[in-house]
Amino acid sequence: MDICKIHENASKCSVNTMECFMVLSTQAQKISIATLCGLFGTLCIFENSLVLYLIFSSPGTRRKPSYLFISSLALADILASIIFVCSFVNFHVFNETDFSKEVFLLQLGGVNTSFSASLSSLLLTALDRYISISRPSEYKLLMTRKRAWIALGLLWVVCATVASLPLLGWNCCTLNSTCSELFPFVDDNYLGSWICFIMVLLGCIVYAYAHVLWRAHQHVAYMEKHQVQVGKQNTRMRMDVMLAKTLVMVLTVLVLCWSPVLVLMIYSIFARLSNHLRKVFAFCSTLCLLNSMVNPIIYALRSKELYSSLRMVFSRFRRQLKASEGSPEAESTHKSSMIET
């Protein structure tokens, strides 16, 4: 008999009922999930750490608000990868339930905070590009490093507060309300509210980027019509448009990776999910790691400043390798090995 049916009349907040959410029934499914999480998570941490290093090792990039927002995105992706992989694999692959309701909600809050902060960082970047293109003459006065740091601090506080609401009491155990079919202890009303919060962020990002691309199209059409010579202002404008297109690619990847998860979350609020759909949700959840892994690749390929910094790092690394190979110690070691031979 299905263990979920055994506990159907029991308390929904019992730790034992968490076994109902372990939907991976075969060893092949567990190996697949573990492989995906391990591969995507490792690459995500490495790539985003490299992005942070490239940004903060160069004075030209770490002073710009645009790259401060990108570094916030990279940091959020790193935290999401670490927390998600550890908690997800531990729960679905190793079937660990030896933890309390508070610990589970704390882990879930960490994942929600990281993803919300990632999306909010994209929103700030979209607003930054919006101001840069719509009001270029006032950009430096409006978007200062101080205001950028304040905006980043506020967004992380808001995201952490929203994500910690279940831990603070908005859960189906405390309220004795309807529990979610996808997450243990999570109230259906909270899940719906969190989805609305995410959809509002997505809507604002799409609106801002649509405006940016529309202004960029107008600018390009004006230059082609009047054959304007490329000057300093036009060069900066093209750089802003380039970065805006890059972030549109990031947003596209974000929507494609997270739309299956959000659709299943919304569907779970209004209808009962089958075991097959819950397994689909478990596999679709790994797409968030794919999204976090792809973002740094887009930066490296599309951002000329980060790409130049990356080439400098590789050049410096090659010079160090050549220097170490041509050092006196290396030569003496080589000579001694030849004598012994």
User: Which of 14-18, 99-103, 224-228 ranks highest by mean pLDDT?
Assistant: 99-103
pLDDT tens-digit profile of 68-81?
999 999 999 999 99
Mean pLDDT, rounded, of the chain: 81
* Predicted pLDDT at 228: 53
Question: Is residue 13 scored above 50 in pLDDT?
Answer: yes
Question: Is residue 46 scored above 90 in pLDDT?
Answer: yes
More confident residue, 321 or 106: 106
Which residue ranges make up each domain of the chain? 24-307
pLDDT tens-digit profile of 218-245?
766 666 666 555 555 566 566 656 666 7
Mean pLDDT check: name the lowest of 38-42, 148-152, 166-170, 240-244.
Answer: 240-244
Confidence of residue 308 (pLDDT cuts 50, 70, 90): confident
Domain 24-307 has CATH 2.102.10.10: no
Mean pLDDT check: name the lowest of 78-87, 176-185, 304-313.
Answer: 304-313
What percent of the chain clears pLDDT 90, i.e. is strictly above it?
27
Question: Is residue 331 scored above 70 in pLDDT?
Answer: no
Mean pLDDT within 36-56: 91
Residue 304 near residue 236 (C-beta atoms within 8 A) = no
What percent of the chain clears pLDDT 70, i.e. is strictly above it?
81
